[in-house]
Chain A
Amino acid sequence: MRALTWHGKNDVRVDSVDDPEILNPRDAIIKVTATAICGSDLHLYDGLIPTMKAGDILGHEFMGEVVEVGANSPLKKGARVVVPFTIACGSCYHCGKHQYSACDNGLPADNQDIAQTLYGQPMSGLFGYSHMTGGYSGGQAEYVRVPFSDVGPIVIPDGVEDEKVLFLSDILPTGWMAAENAQIEPGDIVAVWGCGPVGLFAVQSAFLMGADRVIAIDQFPHRLELAKKFGAEIINFEQSAVYEALMEMTGGIGPDAVIDAVGLEAHGLFVDNVLDAIKTTVFLGTDRAHSIRQAIIACRKGGRVSMPAVYGGFVDKFPLGAFMEKGLTLKTGQTHVQRYMPELLNSILAGTIDSTFLISHRMSLEDAPKGYKMFHDNQNEVTKVVLKPGSVPDSAIAAE
């Protein structure tokens, strides 16, 4: 089959690789019909995530048709499913608490040592996201082997197009959980750092959960426009000082809840950002954390901090004093995708959530390397790239 593979920093290619096979009784093989490039895939593209190996297949947002099942999979061949990016068993202590991203059994035993050492306990497996998260082949491919297919994939009713439901795999539940973690109360003012897909879904979700006002922060005009479309007030940090703006816009109180949807790749020439960039370059630190620092400082006393943003290691200058003195609460974590899929599918079908507004580019799997480069280089206009393995590449059309 054809698959998008990682070969090093800013080097991804479409290669021919062996097709996946059923290996365990609960497996299913999915023929991918749509898959997206995630903002967090850019962390891999930029070489910020350790434990990658040349030839690894990327992609953790995907859906498709069931073409083969193991003896204990309840899925029917031909069913259309969206697959959660978290690989969880459904039967361990954590899955029993619906904390699927903390599943004990999603990682192969040998891959658990790294996270055990780094984080204290191993986390669930993830598709296409380094060997620390399992080393599973990802979904930017023609076919994928999906473990625990009785727990993860959600069956999509006939007649609902792929693009409407594809983001159930990651960014929609991630934005939703970000808002849930902000513990929004009616009348709240919520500030969201980052108008990427997660931030924009968090904006929508915050309003649905009763926020009175949502203030969205970014530097890309097009992304800020999308936030505005959903009713958010916007701050462009290249035009305005964020803390000062937020304090004025909230009458000197600060937002009741703050959501950091930026994470690893925070942009902007702030002093701490520049220092972080230098330190990550020489491996003195791993994470660049301007947005979470700013969010904590801006948050009102007794307020809530939600952090869907991805961090992998250590940060300097975490404002622990402000965090303690103001009595803040922080909730975070990889998304428990399986927990949210059913209710969010219902919201999509009922039309209460707009799940397609993000998609700016559609291309064939063969053109995926071009998609990565575009997404990487132009984050203003490229908000979401959807790859369709079955479709004809641009190069073939041009050649005709």
Chain B
Amino acid sequence: MANVIEQRDDAPIVAARNKDTPRDAGDAVEEPSGGALAGWAVTISRPVAEIYAYWRDFKNLATFMDNVVSVSSLDSRRSHWVVKAPAGQNVEWDSVVTEDVENELIAWRSEADAQVPNSGRIEFRDAGARGTIVTAAILYDPPGGAVGKVIAKMFQREPAIQSRRDLRRFKQLMETGEIATAARTKAQREAERC
């Protein structure tokens, strides 16, 4: 009997109907069991070098990632992340860059003792007159237990929505210099962010 070899089409892994399909989204994206993969592509009408540079300076991520309180550099490859968790708590971890090709891709992974193991990969592709195509894949592997369930709810159910919205905000910031808000007053905008 011939081996059944699964044919893969040209669509990205985040569009796969069967999420158990062997993944090749990137070697840097770890595949812990029960994890949640979230990804999205956007085209940003700015040069690739500008977009890569903004993202590579990890502290900038807090300006457009809603859940991220702050990211600070520990050295050229390691960074410390503070991320909002339910009930006003924060989750923190250290992350290390596992791959970095200027103007092409950045991959990172949380260090071994992270409460919420996670990894991510963002790719940049020059799209000529259209600007740059940015593709992100972020994978979370929430812990077990009662606390884990709450965190899982946040990191497992929402990452698709959250990463999509984060990328839209990134695009807005790069293209327009600001992040769109429909608030009328500063107080309303603050309330929306909480």
Q: Report which A residues bind B (CB closer than 8 A).
A: 17-21, 23-26, 57, 72, 89-93, 96, 104-113, 125, 134-137, 145, 147-148
CA distance A110 to B158 in the complex (A): 13
Given A91-B45, A92-B45, A109-B172, is A135 in contact with B182 using a C-beta cutoff of 8 Å?
Answer: yes
Choice from B176, B180, B182 contacting A137 with Cβ under 8 Å: B182
Q: Is the interface of A mostly helix, strand, loop or mixed?
A: loop
CB-CB < 8 A to B171: which residues of A?
92, 104-105
B172–A105 CB distance below 8 A: yes
Q: Does B189 contact A (CB under 8 A)?
A: yes
The closest CB in chain A to the CB of B168 belongs to A109
B180–A21 CB distance below 8 A: no
CB-CB < 8 A to B184: which residues of A?
17-18, 20-21, 57, 137, 145
A91–B175 CB distance below 8 A: yes
Q: Does B35 contact A (CB under 8 A)?
A: no
B45–A93 CB distance below 8 A: yes
20 further A-B pairs in the complex, CB-CB below 8 A; given A92-B175, A108-B180, A109-B166: A18-B185, A18-B187, A19-B185, A24-B181, A91-B45, A92-B45, A92-B171, A92-B176, A93-B130, A96-B45, A104-B175, A105-B175, A105-B176, A106-B180, A108-B181, A108-B182, A109-B180, A110-B165, A112-B168, A113-B161
Chain B nearest Cβ from A251, distance in angstroms: 48
Q: Does B147 contact A (CB under 8 A)?
A: no
CA distance A17 to B43 in the complex (A): 38
Choice from B172, B185, B192 contacting A21 with Cβ under 8 Å: B185
Most buried by B among A18, A96, A104, A135: A104
Given A93-B131, A96-B45, is A105 in contact with B180 using a C-beta cutoff of 8 Å?
Answer: yes
CA distance A95 to B188 in the complex (A): 28
Total interface residues in chain B, CB < 8 Å: 28
Choice from A18, A57, A72, A125 contacting B180 with Cβ under 8 Å: A125
Q: Does B183 contact A (CB under 8 A)?
A: yes
Most buried by B among A91, A108, A111: A108
| 9 pairs of A and B residues whose beta carbons are closest in the complex | A109-B168, A24-B178, A135-B182, A109-B165, A89-B176, A136-B182, A20-B184, A105-B172, A137-B184
CA distance A113 to B162 in the complex (A): 11
B177–A25 CB distance below 8 A: yes
CB-CB < 8 A to A111: which residues of B?
182
Given A109-B168, A110-B165, is A21 in contact with B186 using a C-beta cutoff of 8 Å?
Answer: yes
Chain B nearest Cβ from A27, distance in angstroms: 9
The closest CB in chain B to the CB of A90 belongs to B176
Q: Does B74 contact A (CB under 8 A)?
A: no
B45–A23 CB distance below 8 A: no
CB-CB < 8 A to B168: which residues of A?
109, 112
CB-CB < 8 A to B182: which residues of A?
108, 111, 125, 134-137
